[in-house]
């Protein structure tokens, strides 16, 4: 395995350190970019670190430091960005400052279009450059200060190889005549990223197998889900660190099956916080037991009626065509059309070009299932 040292980098955590990065951006049209966030450690996700590769220089920007970043966003919006798995990053930046990139090359999307079985950055760097990223960096608390040297080294490697990786993937995509496909995918990624993360919804509590609940379990699930949210907010941790969703569902199903509050509590283990959390869980359970399911927030009616038998049959034919085309191209079928997109096409085949990207639509429009009768 390649033991090459990490690249040299400049950590920017003081306002007077931004000038070299801003000057470097003025000299280039293309920048490699990655982000590190604290979504595994806090209730609200924050961008903690930005990694840039600009003309061979690595800059690491501490976003939690008091830095005047407006000039950075302004300059960055005029550059072509090299990124990997950009969907999460773009949503983070959209929520942070409404950032919109000019254009991107996403090496993960490129790997998908090449039907790579392993599309994570660590796997691609190991395959092409013999570089092995420290897995601890993927699980690190990036909001903790000071950032350790090991983590800064890890962060620098996230962008260091992106230009070379882009060149390799570009060459392979060009041989398959799929560069335009990638460009379309990347443009759509930018537009979806601008939406940021989904806003809180009154029906977020309807998790997992909750659709099978009909009676008291619904009221209990609604109550304990909100109990978990309140504690996650209070403790400033992700909800899953209070308890996982399987536990919430098991509690709801036990209530549905007639278990008592005491019986349910006897089966619950909240780990190191059990003594602190259990009394409030008991209160939440009592509230849930007393809740009339008819008073719970209603599911929004779908704007679309269920597919008719004829539409279901058409959806099956389109799926068969999609799968056959995907196999001939050695592609994951869902890259051509997802399940929900298949349903939308079956409902109204005339909207094929509105539902899919041009390259996807072109692969399907002349298939037997969509040819005019």
Ranges of residues in the chain with a pLDDT under 50 are 1-2
Domain borders along the chain are: 9-193, 208-295, 309-370
Identify which of 52, 45, 101, 47 has the alpha carbon closest to the alpha carbon of residue 73: 101
* CATH class entry, domain 208-295: mainly alpha
Give me the pLDDT at residue 1, please: 44
Q: Which two tokens stand for residue 292?
A: 């009339």
pLDDT at 133: 83
pLDDT at res. 328: 97
* CATH classification code of 9-193: 3.30.420.10
pLDDT tens column, 211-239: 888 889 999 999 999 999 999 999 999 99
The beta-carbon contacts of 220-223 under 8 Å, at least 24 apart in sequence, are 220/251, 220/252, 220/255, 220/256, 220/285, 220/288, 220/289, 220/291, 221/248, 221/249, 221/251, 221/252, 221/288, 222/288, 222/291, 222/296, 223/284, 223/285, 223/287, 223/288, 223/291
Q: Which long-range contacts (CB under 8 A, 24 or more apart) does 49-55 make?
A: 49/142, 49/147, 49/155, 51/155, 51/156, 51/158, 51/159, 52/21, 52/159, 53/82, 53/159, 53/160, 53/162, 53/163, 54/21, 54/24, 54/25, 54/27, 54/28, 55/24, 55/27, 55/28
Predicted pLDDT at 197:
87
Strand partners, 2: 131
Residues 122-147: pLDDT tens digits? 999 999 999 888 777 778 999 999 99
- Torsion sign (Cα): 233, 235, 240, 246: negative
pLDDT, position 301: 59
At 4 the pLDDT is 62
- What the block records as the tokens of 120 is 């994570």
């Amino acid at each position: 395995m390649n033991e090459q040292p990490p690249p040299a980098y400049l950590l920017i955590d003081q306002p007077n350190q931004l000038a070299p990065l801003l000057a470097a951006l003025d000299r280039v049209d293309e920048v490699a970019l990655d982000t590190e966030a604290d979504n595994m450690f806090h209730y609200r996700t924050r961008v903690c670190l930005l990694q840039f590769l600009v003309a061979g220089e690595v800059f690491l920007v501490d976003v939690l430091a008091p830095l005047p970043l407006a000039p950075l966003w302004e300059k960055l919006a005029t550059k072509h960005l090299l990124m990997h798995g950009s969907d999460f990053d773009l949503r983070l930046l959209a929520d942070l400052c409404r950032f919109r990139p000019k254009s991107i090359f996403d090496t993960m999307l490129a790997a998908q279009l090449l039907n790579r079985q392993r599309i994570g950055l660590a796997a691609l760097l190991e395959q092409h450059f013999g570089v092995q990223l420290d897995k601890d960096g993927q699980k690190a608390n990036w909001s903790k200060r000071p950032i350790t040297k090991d983590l800064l080294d890890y962060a620098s490697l996230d962008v260091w190889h992106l230009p070379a990786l882009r060149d390799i993937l570009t060459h392979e995509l060009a041989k398959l005549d799929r560069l335009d496909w990638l460009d379309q995918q990347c443009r759509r990624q930018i537009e979806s990223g601008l939406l940021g993360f989904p806003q809180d919804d009154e029906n977020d509590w309807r998790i997992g197998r909750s659709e099978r609940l009909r009676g008291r379990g619904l009221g209990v699930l609604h109550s304990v889900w909100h109990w978990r949210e309140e504690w996650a907010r209070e403790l400033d941790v992700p909800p899953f660190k209070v308890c996982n969703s399987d536990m919430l569902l098991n509690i709801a199903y036990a209530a549905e099956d007639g278990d008592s509050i005491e019986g349910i509590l006897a089966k619950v283990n909240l780990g190191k916080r059990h003594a602190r959390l259990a009394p409030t869980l008991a209160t939440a359970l009592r509230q849930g037991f007393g809740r009339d399911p008819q008073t719970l927030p209603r599911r929004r009616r779908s704007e679309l009626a269920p597919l008719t038998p004829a539409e279901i049959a058409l959806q099956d034919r389109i799926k068969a065509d999609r799968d056959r085309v995907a196999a001939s191209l050695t592609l994951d079928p869902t890259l051509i059309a997802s399940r929900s997109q298949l349903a939308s096409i079956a409902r109204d085949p005339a909207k094929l070009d509105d539902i899919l990207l041009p390259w996807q639509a072109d692969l399907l429009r002349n298939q037997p299932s969509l040819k005019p009768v």
